[in-house]
């Protein structure tokens, strides 16, 4: 219900529309005809016109704000009465209020900090001028078209005495949801009471809800006095943990444990928001390079193929044919018809094999000695066999034998030699030729049996 009809001219101000109503006043947007500008016109509702206390409080607001000149305090342009109705003319703020912002949800921390840092100096300035607001809340923080914040509604403000002693209030006044514990109990007040109320406003801006709620104003006031505030980070999980101790300190029950000024609260919130985000519980801070390595390993694992229930058949890898070592010569199989080269000991030293057992060298030498002995016995046995099977003739001469070669001579001389050559081909006897280094198996080189020359 509008107390004044739209279009009514009051003291040179034409009413354009009603902006809002409160418990103690109604606000209209009006046009100042003399200055050709829009202003805010605040009037006292008719039901309070017969209450002396309400009239005094309304006039007091005009006088208090008139003495406060700060860029973040809504200024007063004029004060007057129309048909016995008092009114206050103030600057019109077309950006709404913080309460309008909260209607859409919580406010981002950076935006909250911007608003706080604008109004905190205004409160500190008012406190230095011995003025307490006593009713700071979101609807009393207005915004202009640029989004800048201003403090308004000093309707229940109190002026401290000139000797700086707090003035005892007569009764409890204010909004219970934003009352300090000392204000709810009717104790003496100072600037730290406004700091508490500012902490409640900041809590609501960040968390989206007020710290204390109740069914009645009395229940809410009791909670401010007796209960600790809830965790704002639980109410709004998107908040950084660093802001929680800031809000808890601002809402201390004991005023000596709070921030002593509004600007201290603003500085603490700025410092908290500048801190890096806290790690979740259980996480360990690691080197950046290790973090990158772990991320890379995780990415590789994510690209690995998933193993099927039936494993694929195992394929044997192709045999790798390695070229022969240049230091090892490959020997061809023995062929009696092919002349064999003499062993000169010029072969390259073979690559030493891993040592297997202590008796390997002993076995090699034993085998070599056995083979040499066998060859010698075979040669001797062959000579004895020839000697026993040859029958001498009347024309033959005495036969001569040699231990390593058999050569038969007859009386006929060369004919007998030729006959003997045709009858018995040259026999080849294996001869063991030592190599430069001992090997596991001796090298057998075919060697022709040469005749032993006989001196006449």
Residues with active-site annotation: 135
Q: Which CA distances in Å does 281 have to 230, 241, 278, 298, 358?
A: 20, 12, 9, 22, 64
Distance CA 22, CA 33 (A): 26
């Amino acid at each position: 219900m509008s107390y004044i009809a739209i279009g009514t001219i009051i003291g040179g101000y034409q009413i354009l529309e009603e902006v809002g109503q409160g418990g103690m006043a109604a606000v209209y947007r009006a046009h100042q005809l003399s200055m050709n500008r829009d202003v805010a016109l605040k009037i006292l509702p008719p039901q309070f016109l017969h209450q002396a206390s309400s009239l005094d409080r309304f006039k007091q607001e005009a006088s208090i704000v008139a003495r406060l000149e700060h860029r973040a305090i809504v200024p007063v342009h004029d004060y007057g009465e129309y048909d016995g109705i008092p009114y206050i003319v103030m600057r019109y703020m077309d950006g709404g209020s913080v309460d309008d912002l909260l209607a859409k949800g919580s406010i981002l921390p950076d935006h909250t900090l911007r608003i706080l840092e604008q109004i905190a100096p205004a409160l500190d300035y008012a406190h230095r001028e011995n003025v307490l607001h006593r009713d700071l809340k979101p609807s009393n923080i207005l915004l202009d078209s640029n989004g800048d914040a201003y403090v308004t509604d000093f309707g229940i403000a109190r002026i401290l005495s000139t000797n700086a002693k707090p003035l005892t209030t007569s009764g409890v006044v204010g909004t219970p949801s934003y009352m300090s514990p000392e204000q709810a109990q009717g104790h003496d007040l100072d600037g730290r009471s406004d700091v508490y109320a500012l902490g409640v406003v900041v809590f609501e801006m960040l968390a989206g809800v007020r710290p204390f709620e109740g069914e009645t104003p009395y229940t809410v006031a009791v909670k401010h006095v007796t209960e600790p505030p809830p965790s704002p980070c639980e109410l709004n999980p998107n908040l950084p943990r660093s802001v929680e101790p800031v809000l808890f300190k601002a809402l201390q029950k004991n005023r000596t444990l709070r921030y002593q000024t509004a600007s201290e609260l603003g500085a603490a919130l700025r410092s908290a928001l500048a801190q890096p985000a806290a790690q979740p519980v259980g996480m360990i801070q690691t080197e950046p390079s290790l973090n990158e390595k772990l991320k890379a390993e995780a990415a590789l694992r994510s690209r690995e193929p998933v193993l099927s229930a039936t494993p694929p058949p195992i394929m044997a890898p192709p045999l790798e044919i390695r070229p022969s070592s240049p230091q090892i010569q490959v020997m061809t199989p023995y062929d009696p018809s092919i002349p064999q080269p003499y062993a000169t000991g010029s072969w390259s030293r073979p690559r030493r094999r891993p040592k297997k057992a202590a008796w390997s060298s002993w076995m090699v030498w034993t085998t070599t000695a056995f083979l040499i002995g066998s060859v010698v016995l075979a040669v001797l046995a062959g000579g004895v066999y020839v000697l026993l099977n040859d029958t001498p003739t009347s024309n033959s001469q005495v036969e001569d034998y040699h231990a390593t070669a058999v050569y038969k001579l007859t009386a006929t001389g060369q004919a007998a030699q030729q006959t003997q050559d045709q009858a018995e081909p040259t026999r080849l006897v294996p001869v063991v030729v030592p190599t430069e280094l001992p090997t596991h198996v001796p090298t057998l080189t075919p060697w022709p049996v040469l005749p032993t020359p006989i001196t006449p």
